[in-house]
Amino acid sequence: MFVLGVAAATPDVLLSGAQPRECAVSGSPIAGRSGVRTKRVSLPLDYIRSKGNADFLEGWSVATTTPTLLGAQAVRDVLQRIGLSIEQIGLVLGDTGTPYQTCPSEAQRIAGEFGVKIPAYDLVGGIAAVPHMFSVVSRWSTARLPEYLLYVSTNTPSQHVHYGSDPVAAGLFGDAAVVIVLGKQRAASGPSVGVAYARLRAEETRRTPIVIERSARVNTEALLSSDQLKAFIAAEMQRLQQFDATLSQKALFIAPQLYAAEAGENLTQYGVGSQQIISGVDETGFSLGSSHGVALAKSWNALQSGQPVVLMHCGDGQCGSVVLVAA
């Protein structure tokens, strides 16, 4: 199975650390651990300033986009880039943690934007969505795979943030959609990336660091401690070294995105250069399961032949890594 294309879409509104001044957006330790500097959000700044998004349903009524539209935007982008038409796609898998509707599925809503009859359903992976998808689909029988599969993870958690009263969430969340096109065969032209290794495993302790109900919350008690994160990185690097001892020298690393900056610092202790570490949250904010994909999209065009990309995840009840190798 090959990754033929990746694209991310984010809303236009940029929320910096100091914006909006009236909102309590500073002093979020998890924003520091993740390395979030700016957030892309889908609520107008004036609305955030004046209302703080105290009622998320009001937020939905003024939002600049929806998870479905953001996902569809990324789909158009990736298909155009790799020269495929939507009619060539044999299956759409969707993921969202912020659905406007619980029925139909997000995959069906996004496919509906393109007016095509196509199998579509949701494979929901929470904050592990992208590595989770690789871990699932890489275990499928090739005979059951369509020629082309479209995976969309799209999240607008900013629309659930109480900007006036929750500085932790306000400092962390941003919105993004990511689309990954998978194929049975490598692309005739342009980059293709093979899935060399993809395994998530259950953690002994199930944690729910992020909760999206009406509001988007960080469950600070369920966050990994720095020691726990360090222990995960150590164990995972040991596993990865057994798979390929040269990964730390040549691979790009996409760390667990909720702790992207801190995990990145840990990775440097294993010989990984800071330029090898790609963040999907620093400019966009933490967009739940889309964050790994945002980082993958950032690194996509710079990938060199034979270069691996490692996606790492931990801390929500499952952990592990995915290794992609540019063909």
Reading the block at residue 185, the tokens are 């065969």
Distance in Å, CB of 269 to another protein, minimum: 28
Tell how far CA 10 is from the center of its chain: 12
Report the residue number, 105 or 284, with the smaller CB distance to another protein: 105
Query: Which amino acid is located at 223 in the chain?
Result: L
Residues 6+ apart with CB under 8 A from 277: 252, 253, 254, 255, 264, 267, 268
Burial (CB < 10 A; 0-12, 13-18, 19+), residue 238, is exposed
Q: How far is the CB of 215 from another protein (least distance, A)?
A: 10
Minimum gap (Å) between residue 99 Cβ and another protein: 6
Shortest distance, position 113 Cβ to another protein, whole Å? 8
Residue 100 or residue 270: which is nearer to another protein going by CB?
100
Calpha distance 11→177 (Å, rounded): 9
Tell me whether residue 54 or residue 116 sits nearer to another protein (CB atom).
116
Structure tokens at 241: 């070294």
User: Which residues of this chain interact with another protein, rule CB under 8 A?
Assistant: 57, 92, 96-105, 107-112, 114-127, 132, 136, 139-141, 144-145, 200-206, 208, 210-214, 288, 316-318
Closest C-alpha among 124, 102, 130, 288 to residue 195: 130
Residue type, 119: P
Cβ closest to another protein, residue 44 vs residue 317: 317
Report CA-CA distances (Å) from 27 to 49, 157, 163, 238, 274.
Answer: 18, 19, 13, 34, 25
Q: Among residues 116 and 234, whose Cβ is nearest to another protein?
A: 116
Residue 181, strand partner residues: 5, 150
The nearer residue to another protein, 120 or 237, going by C-beta atoms, is 120
Residue 140's CB is within 10 A of a number of other CB atoms, namely: 11
Give least dist CB 208 to another protein, A.
5
For the CB of residue 164, give the shortest distance to another protein in the complex, in Å.
20
Count the Cβ atoms, other than its own, within 10 Å of residue 194: 15
Q: How far is the CB of 263 from another protein (least distance, A)?
A: 20
Of the two residues 77 and 122, which places its CB atom closer to another protein in the complex?
122
Q: Which two tokens stand for residue 107?
A: 């995959």
Report the C-alpha gap between 239 and 301 in whole angstroms.
Answer: 28
Nearer to another protein, 210 or 251 (CB): 210
Find the shortest distance in angstroms from Cβ 214 to another protein.
7
